Amino acid sequence: MTALRCVAVYCGSNPGARPAYADAARRLGILLGTRGLGLVYGGGNVGLMGVLADAALGAGARVVGVIPEALVARELAHGGVSELRVVGSMHERKALMAELADAFIALPGGLGTLDELFEVWTWAQLGLHARPIGLLDVEGFFESLVSHLDRAVAEGFVRPEHRAMVVIEREPERLLDRFAAYVPPRVGKWLDRDTL
């Protein structure tokens, strides 16, 4: 079982095309606060990032923003978070967010969100951490990505146990409930040398 204290959330610096995305970010932020969990996120006050942070703060959560110096003006660093950490690079941002978090959630977002998700997932595959990772699949946003990952399993590029590391839910309450009961899978090898 995983002791949850702080959750890293990856999400868009844009709001996206559907109001449901911001609604989900708001619900997740409120839920983190009401469950006594902290939030670590990308540090912006715009898009889904801003909605998430404001909701979590409003619900009493400790919110830590982590933002690269080059993005402070571009993503409009959130001045009202509990703690804002300005780092030198995207690499430092991802490493610090991972260091501070007990679990990871991806909301809808763009390339940066996917980069953060896949890096932390790769670290789990390599056995560098055993913390839960989840997709909050708002209105089926991640369905095509999940289909692609299933294809990668079918084609022999991803092992089923590694694909199964990511928890997928449409409701934030259910996602956090599953995180609380998460038992990490045993990490096997990711490369079958017998087929080389």
| 32 pLDDT above the threshold of 80 | yes
Q: What is the pLDDT of residues 124-155, one digit of tens each?
A: 999 999 999 999 999 999 999 999 999 999 99
User: 33 in a domain, yes or no?
Assistant: yes
pTM: 0.93
Q: Would you state the pLDDT for residue 185?
A: 78
Q: Would you state the pLDDT for residue 195?
A: 47
User: 161 in a domain, yes or no?
Assistant: yes
User: 111 in a domain, yes or no?
Assistant: yes
* 190 band by pLDDT with thresholds 50, 70 and 90: low
In whole angstroms, give the CA distance from residue 121 to residue 129.
Answer: 9
Q: What SS3 class is residue 14?
A: coil
Count of CB atoms within 10 A of residue 100's CB?
Answer: 18
41, 62 contact by CB (below 8 A)? no
Average pLDDT, the chain: 93
User: 58 in a domain, yes or no?
Assistant: yes
* Contacting residues for 52 by C-beta, under 8 A, at least 6 apart: 9, 11, 25, 26, 28, 29, 39, 41, 107
Count of CB atoms within 10 A of residue 104's CB?
Answer: 27
124, 131 contact by CB (below 8 A)? yes
* 80 band by pLDDT with thresholds 50, 70 and 90: very high
**Residue 68 domain boundaries:** 6-182
Q: What is the pLDDT of residues 149-184, one digit of tens each?
A: 999 999 999 999 999 999 999 999 999 999 999 988
User: 187 in a domain, yes or no?
Assistant: no
7-34: average pLDDT = 97
Name the domain count of the chain. Answer: 1
User: 196 in a domain, yes or no?
Assistant: no
Q: Would you state the pLDDT for residue 73?
A: 75
User: 46 in a domain, yes or no?
Assistant: yes
45, 67 contact by CB (below 8 A)? no
Task: Say which CATH number the domain at 150 has.
Answer: 3.40.50.450
User: 141 in a domain, yes or no?
Assistant: yes
Q: Would you state the pLDDT for residue 1?
A: 52
| 116 pLDDT above the threshold of 60 | yes
